[in-house]
Amino acid sequence: MELDSLVAMAKANGASDLHLEPGLPAAIRVRGTLKATGAPLPGKMLLEAAHELIGAKEWNVFLERRSFDLSRNIEGTRCRINVMQTSRGVGMAIRLLMGFTATVDKLNLHPDIRKLIGHTHGLIIISGATGSGKSSTMAALIQEINLLETRHVVTIESPIEYLFKPHRAYIRQREVGRDTPSFEQALLDAMREDPDVLMVGGNARSGNDAVDVERGGDGASGIGNCALGDSSGGVATGGGGVSRGEPEQCLRATGGLFGGGRLPAVAVSAGFADSGAGVRDLDSVDACDEKFYPSRGVF
């Protein structure tokens, strides 16, 4: 079975993820549950598919790193793809992205999250476990800005997952590896690009690049994500002494409610305008959390 057919099969089954490994059947994740389907996949087919996806120009990069991230439209579905070298050969982990434009309402997020993007300065870090919807939530916040605000938005992503069509906002999307050599270079470039909003998404260094968003944006609003082992997160800070908020989220099974499936469980840590004033005097993250986030609302 060719890659196009495998993606089409995953989409038809309502899968969020598709895993391909030489000598094993394809595995799809549906509503959080992984299940194998079909016959074992030949390694030659996956190797040829990987070479076609990555291209001859970047193939040596894959051989050096033993992994490669990219995004493609396959069978009408936007896919985020990680190609990896494993003990069996070349495998793939494919995330099937939503076919609609993410918004706060469509993702069933708490409406108070909109308040985070109403400020002109500050930093938002979205944290959560893999698959909890961090990228979708960032896309929803950018789309809310796009529909309501006349702001210049620059995104730095690895890879680009959601393509935005500018409405009121002026949006530029840059993909690491294709449009810029690294997150670091893109953040330096941003200092000369006059952004009102700077979004860092993808495989940034455990959130460090997200924390650098405001440094690169020179006072612009920043939105970034940070992958964690559970739904808890670290401290979010913002330039100009402004800590706007840190949404933390995970997906919870609903059982028989709402037709089954999963719904987002969201907690927002909200700071206030003078939160940066004493950050250097604090001895620990716990003290910072107690001082800046005296209350957390779980929605």
pLDDT tens-digit map of 146-162: 999 999 999 999 888 88
Q: Which part of the chain is CATH 3.40.50.300?
A: 111-298
- pLDDT for residue 67: 96
CATH superfamily label, 111-298: P-loop containing nucleotide triphosphate hydrolases (3.40.50.300)
The answer, yes or no, to whether residue 76 has pLDDT greater than 80, is: yes
Segment 31-35 shows an average pLDDT of: 91
**Spatial distance between the Cα atoms of 208 and 210, rounded to a whole number of angstroms:** 5
Lowest mean pLDDT among 89-93, 112-116, 147-151: 112-116
Write out the two tokens for 289.
């959390």
Strands 122-128, 89-96: pairing kind: unpaired
The order of strands in the sheet holding 17-20 is 33-40, 25-30, 17-20, 89-96, 77-86, 67-74
Q: What percent of the chain has pLDDT over 90?
A: 48
Q: What percent of the chain has pLDDT over 70?
A: 68
Structure-token match 């330039």, residue found: 239
The answer, yes or no, to whether residue 233 has pLDDT greater than 50, is: no
Determine how many CB atoms are found less than 10 A away from the CB of residue 201. Answer: 26
Segment 236-246 shows an average pLDDT of: 42
Angle in degrees, CA 223, 224, 228, rounded to 5: 145
Sign of dihedral through CA atoms 102, 70, 155, 126? Answer: positive
- pLDDT for residue 261: 60
- pLDDT for residue 177: 86
- The CATH code belonging to domain 3-96 is 3.30.450.90
* AA identity, residue 98: M
Write out the two tokens for 73.
């439209």
Structure-token match 């005097």, residue found: 281
- pLDDT for residue 201: 87
- pLDDT for residue 120: 80
- pLDDT confidence band for 231 (50 / 70 / 90): very low
Contact between residue 220 and residue 149 where contact means Cβ atoms under 8 Å apart: no
- pLDDT for residue 294: 38
Helices 43-54 & 56-65 angle (0-180, nearest 10): 120
Write out the two tokens for 275.
């939160």
DSSP-derived secondary structure letter, 212:
T
Lowest mean pLDDT among 36-40, 98-102, 281-285: 281-285
Closest of 56, 95, 52 to residue 77, by C-alpha: 95
Q: Which residue has the higher pLDDT, 251 or 298?
A: 251
- pLDDT for residue 181: 92
* AA identity, residue 27: A
Closest of 231, 237, 229, 240 to residue 270, by C-alpha: 237
The answer, yes or no, to whether residue 14 has pLDDT greater than 80, is: yes
The answer, yes or no, to whether residue 282 has pLDDT greater than 70, is: no
Question: Which ranges of the chain would DSSP assign to H, the alpha helix?
Answer: 3-12, 43-54, 56-65, 134-148, 183-190, 208-211, 213-217, 285-292
The answer, yes or no, to whether residue 218 has pLDDT greater than 50, is: yes
Q: Which residue has the higher pLDDT, 214 or 36?
A: 36
Backbone angles phi, psi at 137, to 5 degrees: -65, -40
Segment 163-191 shows an average pLDDT of: 93
Backbone angles phi, psi at 93, to 5 degrees: -120, 120
Segment 242-251 shows an average pLDDT of: 54
Closest of 161, 163, 154 to residue 183, by C-alpha: 154
Backbone angles phi, psi at 48, to 5 degrees: -65, -40
Q: Which part of the chain is CATH 3.30.450.90?
A: 3-96
- pLDDT for residue 116: 84
Closest of 117, 148, 146 to residue 268, by C-alpha: 117
**Spatial distance between the Cα atoms of 63 and 45, rounded to a whole number of angstroms:** 18
Write out the two tokens for 98.
């939503």
- pLDDT for residue 219: 56
The answer, yes or no, to whether residue 256 has pLDDT greater than 90, is: no
Averaged pLDDT score across all residues of the chain: 78
The answer, yes or no, to whether residue 217 has pLDDT greater than 70, is: no
